[in-house]
Structure formats: structure tokens, C-alpha cells
Amino acid sequence: MGVEIEIKDLTKSFGKQLIWGDVTLTIPAGEICVMLGPSGTGKSVLLKTIIGLLKPDRGSVVIQGTDIASCPEKELYEIRKLFGVLFQDGAMFGSMNLYDNIAFPLREHTNKTESQVREVVMEKLDLVGLLGTEDKLPGEISGGMRKRAGLARALVLDPEIVLFDEPDSGLDPVRTSFLNQLIVDLNAQIDATFLIVTHDINTARMVPDNIGLLYHKHLAMFGPREMLLSSEEPVVRQFLNAQVVGPIGMSEEKDADELEAEKDMELPPLPPIPLQLEPSNGQPRRSQRAPGAWCKEHGIEPPPGSFQENMSMTTGG
Ligand SMILES: Nc1ncnc2c1ncn2[C@@H]1O[C@H](COP(=O)(O)OP(=O)(O)OP(=O)(O)O)[C@@H](O)[C@H]1O
Ligand SMILES: [Mg+2]
């Protein structure tokens, strides 16, 4: 079913350096959310704060009535069992084969017998398409396989929330497409709440139900995919369409001269909104909305050519 994450006025700094302030958003139960933002805007810090690995300066992260930011360590330990986390590099133990890596959380956190452990490990290996590789060491498989192994390990405790920190970094476009399909299929199957941090614009445009953008030490926008993909807000527009013209420069923000020079430049039109990636079995996910539903509800005319079959940005979808 998945659980909701209610984040309110969350602020985090390290020493004098403010990372982000007053971040407020509700991550709906069972839905897929993508969090975007330029490098260094604190996306990983946000994920770590959500699982309670980092303490915010103020604000709350409420899950099932418990505030992760302020609850006692014992409660935090219990709440953490709701989470599966896919770390950026897969975070596998290099000296353990895939089987033992994936079995690790089960041996650590449950009283399952070895034969029960085996059943779960094989089921998850099958789910991510890695059956037959259980004897390999992490160093013996490709980056894409390591990500999928990391995903299998994130799933063994049947999480209600899965956090993905750049699941697609270092993957080629084809493997990224396979991974995206796997993410959508998994969401349909296990119905957990997914929060994905990514730099891949195609992933952001096609996979999630909701998109958030961290920029300039705050949450610039968070909402349904169609809302952000049809937004004219300069930062959102620039980031989601990977454009050069806009407030974001090569290093953080553009200065006044740079912005002045762009003043009269014509912005390229918004590209069409692609269809959302559907589960490969053709059964819609519970949180999937009809193409164009949000735009229609809000009286927004989507960019011409939106929601057409087989249209593509740069991937075939
Ligand atoms: N434990 C820490 N102590 C001090 N500063 C930290 C710590 N963790 C992160 N930071 C700082 O917080 C800022 C945000 O880091 P974070 O890793 O969350 O960025 P990010 O948005 O995930 O970037 P990227 O897209 O490159 O992964 C950086 O300036 C980083 O140096
Ligand atoms: Mg990061």
C-alpha cells in the first residue's frame, strides 16, 4: 500500500552552510516521486534526513504519526524497517557474493530460517532479472547489474518506502530505460512509495507521478508531473527541459550581466509532454492518472504534440 511522508518546514545546515530551508511537501502513499536539482543542492542530504541518518536543524518528517526528526533512537530503528534504500553505487559488500549481499538484511533483521531466506532472495533476484548470478561477486558484474542487485537488496524486507539515490548514474541510455521500466513495474507490483533522486531528464519526464525541484536552497516546486512539465516558471522550465537560457548557470546562479544579456532572447517552446511510462504488463498502476488529466482539470493547454503515442524527447520511451 505504501505510506505517506509528510515533510514540513524542514531546514538543514552544516555549520554555517545552509543546505536548504523551509522544505515542505507531502509525498503521497504509493506514488512515484522524482526529486531534481543541480549538483550540490542537497538531494542526497534530503534522502538521508528522511531516513533519519541526518538530523535537520528544524522541521519535521512524519511517517505513520512518528516524526523521524525528533523521535527517540528506538522508534527510529523500528520506522527504518519501512524503508528500502538504493544507494548511488549499489553499496554492495565487495567480498560477499550477490546471494549473501541480498540475504544480509534478512539475516540481520529477521528470524527467518536459511530456507526462508533463500526463498526471499531468489524471489527478489527474479524480480530484478538476476537469477543465476547469485554466486558472482559485485566486482564481477556490470554497473547496471550492480544497481539491480542493490535494488533486490533494498526490497528484501518488503519496504513501504523505497528511496533511490541516482539509480541511473553511470548507466548507458538503454540500461537506464530498462531500469526505468523495472522501477515502474516494481511500483505496480509492490505498491510502495517511491522517491527517486536523478539527473536524468528523461527519467524525470516519463516515470514519476510527481516531480520536485530543489534550487537555490529551497524547494522551487513540487507537484504532479504535468504541472511541472507545463510550467513557465523560469527555473523549472529551464531544468526540466535542459535549456541553457534561464537563471541556472554553469556554477550555481547566473550573474546580473549574464541575465541581462539573455533578456531579449527568445525561449524555445516547451517540448510536448510525453506519455507516462506504463507497467509492461499493460495494467495501470494504482496512482497512474489519465494522460492530460491534470492539465484539463486546471485549464492548462499542454504544449502542442503532448501525450501522443511513440513521441520521444531523446529516447524512444
Ligand atoms: N556530512 C556532511 N557534512 C558536511 N557537509 C555535507 C555533508 N553531507 C553533505 N554536505 C554538503 O551538503 C551539500 C549538498 O550535498 P548533497 O550530497 O546532498 O548534494 P546533491 O544534491 O546530492 O548533489 P549531487 O547531485 O552532486 O549528488 C554539499 O555542499 C555537501 O558538501
Ligand atoms: Mg547526491
Domain ranges of the chain: 5-230
Which residues are placed with Cβ below 5 angstroms of ligand 2, an ion? Answer: 44
Alpha carbon nearest to ligand 1 atom 18, residue: 42
Local structure of 134: helix, strand or coil: coil
Going by C-alpha positions, the residue among 22, 44, 54 that lies closest to residue 89 is 44
Q: pTM for the full model? A: 0.91
User: Could you report the per-residue pLDDT of 110-148, keeping only the tens digit for each?
Assistant: 999 999 999 999 999 998 889 999 999 999 998 888 888
Grid coordinates representing 245 are: 537560457
Closest ligand 1 atom, residue 199 Cα: 25
Q: Tell me which of 19, 86, 251 to substitute to probe ligand 1's pocket, judged by most ligand atoms within 8 Å of the beta carbon.
A: 19
Grid coordinates representing 35 are: 526529486
Inter-residue long-range contacts of 134-141, CB under 8 Å, 24+ positions, other chains counted: 134/97, 134/98, 134/99, 134/102, 135/97, 135/98, 135/99, 136/97, 136/98, 137/94, 137/95, 137/96, 137/97, 137/98, 138/90, 138/92, 138/93, 138/94, 138/96, 138/98, 138/101, 139/94, 141/98
pLDDT at 6: 98
Q: Which ligand has its closest atom nearest to the C-alpha of 252?
A: 1
pLDDT at 8: 98
Whether 45 is in the pocket of ligand 1, judged by its Cβ within 6 Å, is yes
Q: Are 60 and 69 in contact (CB under 8 A)?
A: yes
pLDDT at 293: 96
Whether 41 is in the pocket of ligand 1, judged by its Cβ within 6 Å, is yes
Q: Which ligand has its closest atom nearest to the C-alpha of 35?
A: 1
pLDDT at 266: 72
Going by C-alpha positions, the residue among 177, 206, 182 that lies closest to residue 276 is 206
Q: Crossing angle, helix 114-127 and helix 143-155, to 10 degrees?
A: 130
Alpha carbon nearest to ligand 1 atom 25, residue: 39
Mean of pLDDT values over 216-225: 96
Q: Which ligand has its closest atom nearest to the C-alpha of 41?
A: 1
Closest ligand 1 atom, residue 54 Cα: 1
CATH entry 3.40.50.300 includes domain 5-230: yes
- Say if residue 316's pLDDT is above 50: no
Grid coordinates representing 75 are: 522508534
From the CA of 19, how far away is ligand 1's center (Å)? 8
User: Could you report the per-residue pLDDT of 154-170, keeping only the tens digit for each?
Assistant: 999 999 999 999 988 87
